[in-house]
Every structure is written in structure tokens, then in C-alpha cells.
Amino acid sequence: MASKNKIFLLLTLFLFFPPASFAAVIPFGQPCATGDYCTNGFCEQSTLSIPQNKFCVCASDSQCETQFTKSSPQETWTCKPGEDKTKNLHYCVSTTRGTQEPIPAGAAPTATPPEATGTTEKKEKLTPPVVSVPIPGLAAFSEIEYTQGEKVDVPYIAQYIVAIYKYGLVIGALLAVVMIMIGGIIYLTAAGAQGLIGTGKTLIYGAISGLVLLLGSYLLLMTINPNLVNPQAISLDTIKGLNIEPGNETSEIVYESIQKLPPSQQSQGMNCYFSEFGQDKAAVSSQITQVTILGHKYSVHKKMAPAMQAAAQEITALNSPYLVKNDGGSGAFNWRQNVNNPTQLSLHSFGIAFDINPSKNPNYKRPEACKPNQPCPACNSDIPKEIIDILKKNGFRWGGDYKSVCDAMHFEWLGPCAK
């Protein structure tokens, strides 16, 4: 009986006076949800523009001394209120070592101010999830602002897990108290009946043991890995959206025709090209033929070949010294995605576009927009005008006529899909 009483006493002490590490495992400068997790019980919100912007900080001079220790008898520590330079967080100052940053390097990502990057990119908002099973005490999830192409920290799952654990502790504690009360009543009203006394003790011991195990799981997980009891936000990479613009292997006529379609049909804007020139790489490859123009042999679709051959004959009659250089960039058929809009295929994929001397006829965004009812400024190009005119005459569209970009290397033949 004495051994059982000792066990009961130890369990009671463990329940009502748990080790300090149970509720305080996060040191200064680390992210926290509430003060319960901090070694000193003080969790303060910073001015950082990140989801987890609360950190464990000092609350008294003695805590600074405990955290950093004294390097000499003369050294004293002071905990000072937050300032702009410390992101509004309390911080420790030593008479010999000076100011200690409240957030150690690497503890949290540094938000880059817009003026430092020279950009004013639009902030996107991440819509918080709708909780199907609400947990009492769980604060409503808030929207998260982020910039496309940068990392975004999503804390929703971590917050939900913490809320479940806290709620479980409350329910477990309530059930344990109820069972202890029931066991106590049975014990007190047993009137010497050994069976009832044993039942009462069993309920009391069982309730306390179960609650100790519930709380002990926290200590066990913390011992294995402190991160297991301090869930962190999930860091995700975001993709920077692409603006669909004509040029760089994207015909303006294709772009404009797709943009005129209802949003639900825009994904079908390339259907004509698949139908007329081939559904996939193999289908197009089976219809590729060779055409020589300006001294260079191109692999093109057989439907475009007659127009290209006719243009080649007229250009040959000019006796122009201009030739296509074999610089590796003067190509035609190449099954690949569109450079400006990876959701669509390049017209080169269908063998209905070819490039002439890219190094001398570069692709670039126009420095200024073309003015309405006025010719666009000339693009950088070394292709003679008479050659360009012959190609246009034979049904080719020239990238140097694009309004948003200059793509002077690029010529395309849309054939039956030009409408």
C-alpha cells in the first residue's frame, strides 16, 4: 500500500508541477505561437512582413543575464523595449558586449523592402482554407500576401495541429478530473468494502496515469526533436506568372485571335494548328520536308513548302549577296513550348515558322509602344527590305512588324489558320 501511495504522490506532483521543459522549450530569438512555448513565457509580435512574425524575447534584465551569461563580474545586462531597429521586439543590452539582436541570423527570413529591389510588383493574396472541422480556440486563418516568384510560408497546417493538441489536453484534463471525482466518491462511500475501495483507487490511478501519459508525449517528442512540438510553417516556392504577349515565336494574329475567345475557350485557340499540321511531334515530323532559301536548308511543313519555294525563287533572282549564316540559331521545325507562353506550343513546333540570322536580328521588347495609326519604329535587322517584301508577298508574316516586341529573325506562315 505504501508503494502505491508513493506512486500516486509522484504522479500527482508530475501532473500539477510538470517540468519546465514541458511548456518552455523555445529559446530567445526563435519563432513562437504563444508565450507558453518560450523559455521565459514571453512571445512578442514583430513588424516583419512574414506569417510567423512572433518571437521569444526577454521580459526582464535577469532573463538576459540567464540567456547570455556574464563574461565578467562587472558586466550587467538590461532588457529594453522594442524599437524600429529591432523590429519592435524587446532586446538585451550588455555593458561590455553591446546590443544583442533579438532575432539571430537565419532565425527568420528578412523581408526585402520594395525600394531595395527597385520593383513595385503587385502583391498576391493566398486565400486561407475553410476549416471543415473547427477546433475551439483556433483563431481564424488570415490571408497571406506574397510576391510571385518568391517563397511563401504557409502556417495553416501548423496552427491547426497546435490547436488540436491544446484542445486534446483540455478534454483529457477534464475527463481525468471527472474520473478522479468519480473514483473519489466511490472510495469515500465504500464503507469498508474492499471491492469498491479497489475500484475507486483504480479509477483515480488510471485517470492520473492517462493524463501523465498525455502530457508525457509532449516531453517525449520534445526530447526526440524540438521541432516536433513546435510545428513550423510550410515554405513553398511560387511561380511567377507570365504575361501573354505577341512576339518571340508567338504570332500576333494567333495571340489576338486567342485573346478574343471567351476565357473558357482560350485553351482551344491552337486547335486549328493541331488539326491542319499535326496532333503531336510524330504527326508533324512525318510531314516535314527540306527547302533551301538564302543558301540555308530548312526543315519545314510540306504545306508551307510551296510558299517558301516560290519566295526562294524570287529571292534567287535578286542576286542578293545576303545569305543565312549557319550560326546554330537559324532554324525552323522544332517541337517545343512557346518561349513567351509555355502553356502553348511555338509555331516552330508545326514547322510553319523559320528564323534568319538571329544574332543580327535579335528579339527584344520595344523600348516604346507603337503609336496608333502610325508605323512602328524600325526593328534592328540586317535583312534587306526586298527580301522581307518577297516573303510577305508569298504569305509570310514578319516578326519585325510586331507591335509589342521586335522579332526580326522570325517569319511564319499560318496558311488555313490565318483567319
CATH number of 252-417: 3.30.1380
Q: What is the pLDDT of residue 37?
A: 64
What's the pLDDT score for residue 269?
Answer: 57
Identify which of 93, 98, 99, 104 has the alpha carbon closest to the alpha carbon of residue 28: 104
CB 345, CB 324: distance < 8 Å: no
Using 50, 70 and 90 to split pLDDT, how confident is the model at 122?
low
For cell 544583442, the residue is: 100
pTM for the complete prediction?
Answer: 0.42
Is 60 exceeded by the pLDDT of residue 266?
no
Which are the contacts of 385, defined by CB distance < 8 A and separation ≥ 6?
none
User: Which element (helix H / strand E) includes 406?
Assistant: strand 405-407
- The pLDDT of residue 255 is 53
Q: Which residue has the cell 532565425?
A: 107
| pLDDT > 60? residue 330 | yes
β-pair partners for 234 = 154
Residue 203 CA, chain-centre distance (Å), reads 51
Query: What element of type H or E holds 390?
Result: helix 385-393
CA-to-CA separations, 19 to 34, 141, 199, 382, in angstroms, rounded: 18, 32, 30, 80
* Residue extents of the structural domains in the chain: 23-111, 128-241, 252-417
User: Quick one: angle between helices 305-317 and 385-393, nearest 10?
Assistant: 140
**Integer angstrom CA distances of residue 123 from 37, 144, 147, 148:** 32, 10, 5, 8
- Mean pLDDT: which of 43-52, 131-140, 179-188 is highest? 179-188
Tell me how many degrees the CA angle 335-338-341 measures, rounded to the nearest 5. Answer: 150
Q: Read off the pLDDT of each residue in 99-112 and give the average, rounded to a whole number.
A: 64
Q: Residue 301 pLDDT more than 90?
A: yes
**Helix extents (H) in 299-339:** 305-317
| Measured distance CA(129)–CA(263) in Å, rounded | 26
Please state the rounded mean pLDDT for residues 120-139.
Answer: 78
* Sign of the Cα pseudo-torsion (57, 59, 63, 65, in order): positive
For CA atoms 153, 156, 162, 163, give the dihedral sign.
positive
Residues 6+ apart with CB under 8 A from 197: 187, 190
379-409 residue pLDDT tens? 999 999 999 999 999 999 998 888 888 888 9
C-alpha distance from residue 30 to each of 45, 192, 218 (Å): 12, 56, 19
> What pLDDT does 318 receive?
93
Q: Whose grid coordinates read 498525455?
A: 214
Amino acid 370: pLDDT: 81
Give me the amino acid identity at 110.
T
- How far apart are the C-alpha atoms of 281 and 351, rounded to whole Å? 10
Res 395: pLDDT: 93
Q: Which three cell numbers stand for residue 269?
A: 485557340
